[in-house]
Amino acid sequence: MSDDKKVIFSGIQPSGFLTLGNYLGALNNWTKLQDEYNCLYCIMDLHTITVRQDPAKFRKAERELIMQYIASGLDPEQNIMYYQSHVSQHAELSWILGCYIYMGELQRMTQFKEKSQKHSDNINAGLFTYPVLMAADILLYQTDLVPVGEDQRQHLELAREVASRFNKLYGDVFKIPEAYISKVGARVMALQDPSKKMSKSDENKNNTIAIMDPPEVIMSKFKKAVTDSDNEVRYSDDKPGVSNLLNIYCAVTGSTTAEAEREFDGFGYGDFKKSVGEAVVAKLEPVQKKFMELQNNKDYIDSIIKNNTEKARHLADRTLSRVQKKIGFMPRV
Ligand code: TYM
């Protein structure tokens, strides 16, 4: 890693195939940052077990997620990609930070409230302390920027808060990270219900586009997407369905909202939705192709993990040992 570049850290949970929301809110932005920054892109498997997983399916999802990272355009030579559970410093720093974050702060987290409603049979302590581990992930690498979707903003605020709190007590130990949230694509909504975000775990599959969905499935889901009754392609808070589709179109093509509105002026919703579908299919086609190629290349994936994990451990340990020393733990002998 070069010393004169800023550090980026982000990650995704391996809990099934990525959605267009994950892709546009996170991955697609990551690929734009890889030249300018030192980037670490982690597979957040420790976070994933806050919801019960089937071990065989989980392992498959972990392997496929790293393949989706690479297929989306992340260069494994340039970015550090690794599994969170392979770098034990994440869990160690998480324990320490948990002693500097208050119960009240965690109780305010909207993701905890939402997930504990959804998984009311398994409100485990890990679900509650999830943001503590996320703060540890970020702070371990002296991260400058964290590219995420809008739904992670509150967690990031907590990471900043605990970093400042720790620095006030012990001097400058942690860099205070900033969120990097793009204007378009940061909040992709469900296609059939644009009042809620597009989510991997949605039971109605017509709400989500998986990045590996075949073209005909993508087209059919966009065809069924809800719009409204006034037949005008315009971005507006009172037109959530149409605005979501415009947002997706802009994120995929790079057009501004004004350009897209002009392009679709006079279009009926049927043709508009077809165009959005086609733009998404075109964007995902090379990703899907590359993913298929990687499927036959297990050794290559293994070698990437091997090389990258050591680099991540080395960087993480620099921060962790500094933290331990500041707190007053006995020096390692
Ligand atoms: P996860 O796996 O839920 O989501 C991964 C990324 O996708 C973004 N995202 C969306 N963006 C736009 N529209 C949507 N509908 C949408 N759904 C998801 C998320 O904002 C995220 O950027 N807690 C994190 C994982 C994590 C992490 C970290 C991220 C753990 N430690 C440290 C950054 C830094 C999560 O649950 O992501």
Strand partners, 41: 10, 81
Determine the residue type at 291.
F
28-37, 125-134, 254-263: the lowest-pLDDT one: 28-37
The larger pLDDT score, comparing residue 104 to residue 4, is at 104
270 CA → ligand 1 middle, Å: 31
pLDDT classification of 4: cutoffs 50, 70, 90: confident
188 lines ligand 1 (CB under 6 A): yes
The catalytic site residues sit at 115, 197, 200
What pLDDT digit, counting tens, does each position of 77-96 carry? 999 999 999 999 999 999 99
13 lines ligand 1 (CB under 6 A): yes
61-70, 203-212, 294-303: the lowest-pLDDT one: 294-303
pLDDT classification of 119: cutoffs 50, 70, 90: confident
pLDDT classification of 328: cutoffs 50, 70, 90: very high
Closest residue by Cα to atom 19, ligand 1, is 149
138 lines ligand 1 (CB under 6 A): yes
pLDDT at 69: 96
The rounded mean pLDDT for the chain is 95
What pTM was computed for the model?
0.95
pLDDT at 231: 87
Whether the per-residue pLDDT at 2 is higher than 90: the answer is no
pLDDT at 1: 73
126 CA → ligand 1 middle, Å: 17
**C-alpha 314 chain-centroid distance:** 24
Closest residue by Cα to atom 16, ligand 1, is 21
d(CA 63, CA 95): 27
Whether the per-residue pLDDT at 234 is higher than 80: the answer is yes
What is the average pLDDT across 290-313?
93
13 CA → ligand 1 middle, Å: 7
Percent of the chain with pLDDT over 70: 100
What is the average pLDDT across 59-63?
95
pLDDT classification of 274: cutoffs 50, 70, 90: very high
What pLDDT digit, counting tens, does each position of 144-155 carry? 999 999 999 999
